[in-house]
Amino acid sequence: MLAVVLALGSALSFGVADYIGGVLSKRCSVWGVASLSQITAGLATGVVAIFVFGDPGAADFVWAVVAGLAGAFGIVFLYRGLSRGRMSVVAPISGIGAAVIPVIVGVAGGERPSVLIWVGIAIAFPAIYLIPQVDPAEEDAANGSPRPGGASDGVLAGIGFGVLFAAIGQMGEGSGFLPLSLMQIVNGAAVAVAAVVLRHEWLPRGREQLPVYAIGLLATAGAVCFLLATHEGLLSVVSVIASLYPAATIAMAAVLLDEHLGRVQIVGLVLATVAVVLVTLG
């Protein structure tokens, strides 16, 4: 039960962070938002690590670097896909990848969820796919012209995020939060380097920096909750619940921006609720 609560906390934190990032990216570089928010998250997590005892080993730091690089890899291809492909294709595929890979790693490592949990996981996958869906006609109207799918970028982004979640799950229970801090700093630095190479602005300017710090703190909460959830429950379960974070983003957009929820999105949200209930009961 505690693992599910922590995983939901992770999903909520990441979802709210994505909502703020989505609003902010309309007036400044998404690359700058991603790099500065992750570096902020790394520093914030480092502060938490000072007050929480941990005894990380060399392997924990190795997994941290792997997770940080994988997260940056996922962000680069997600942003590239969103910039030239359909959000309704790129985002759902990346979300599926983020959930599938940790499930495979968890099961390969000996995890054996109950039948009820497996049913919940099975229901969660279509939910992950359906929640970010948008009407292609509306998307084309917003972007001025029809756009290609971008499925390959979605797959690559999903691999990056899936490896990120799986690598966090390998950090030891007594490792504390220093490896998590390193992961986020590596992530932010790698995204900044990619932005420079691709000739994008990698640092927000002036007042635009303030909301980015809030995103960083939310990313800290999301990563900490996810790490603790993997210590309390199965990686194969926790990763799927955490991958439902778009539900929080979509819900906030509907409430605060009065964005219309499509029928497909509503179905996805209902399936997500059913999946969480089944996993909790299992």
Q: What is the pLDDT of residues 182-198, one digit of tens each?
A: 999 999 999 889 888 88
Instruction: State the CB neighbour count (10 A cutoff) for residue 188.
Output: 27
pLDDT in tens, 112-144: 989 999 999 999 999 988 888 776 555 555 555
Give the side-chain half-sphere CA count within 13 A for 15: 23
Q: Supply 205's token pair.
A: 């300017």
Q: Beta-carbon neighbour count of residue 25 at 10 Å?
A: 18
Q: Which amino acid is at 1?
A: M
Average the pLDDT over each of 55-69, 207-221, 266-280 and give the range with the smallest value.
207-221
What does the alpha-carbon distance between residue 22 and residue 75 come to, in Å, rounded to a whole number?
Answer: 14
Query: What is residue 25's DSSP assignment?
Result: T
Q: Are 84 and 219 in contact (CB under 8 A)?
A: no
Q: Which residues contact 256 (CB under 8 A, 6 or more apart)?
A: 19
Q: Measure the CA–CA gap between 202 and 120, rounded to whole angstroms.
A: 40
Q: What is the pLDDT of residue 137?
A: 57
Q: What angle do CA 37, 237, 89 make, to 5 degrees?
A: 60
Q: Hey, how many other C-beta atoms are within 10 angstroms of the C-beta on 33?
A: 27
In this prediction, residue 103 carries a pLDDT of: 92
| Residue-level pLDDT at 217 | 92
CB 187 within 8 Å of CB 68? yes
pLDDT tens digits, 169-180:
999 888 899 999
Q: What value, to the nearest 5°, has the Cα angle with vertex 57 and ends 54 and 59?
A: 130
Q: Report how far apart, in Å, the C-alpha atoms of 266 and of each of 130, 244, 258 are.
A: 8, 13, 15
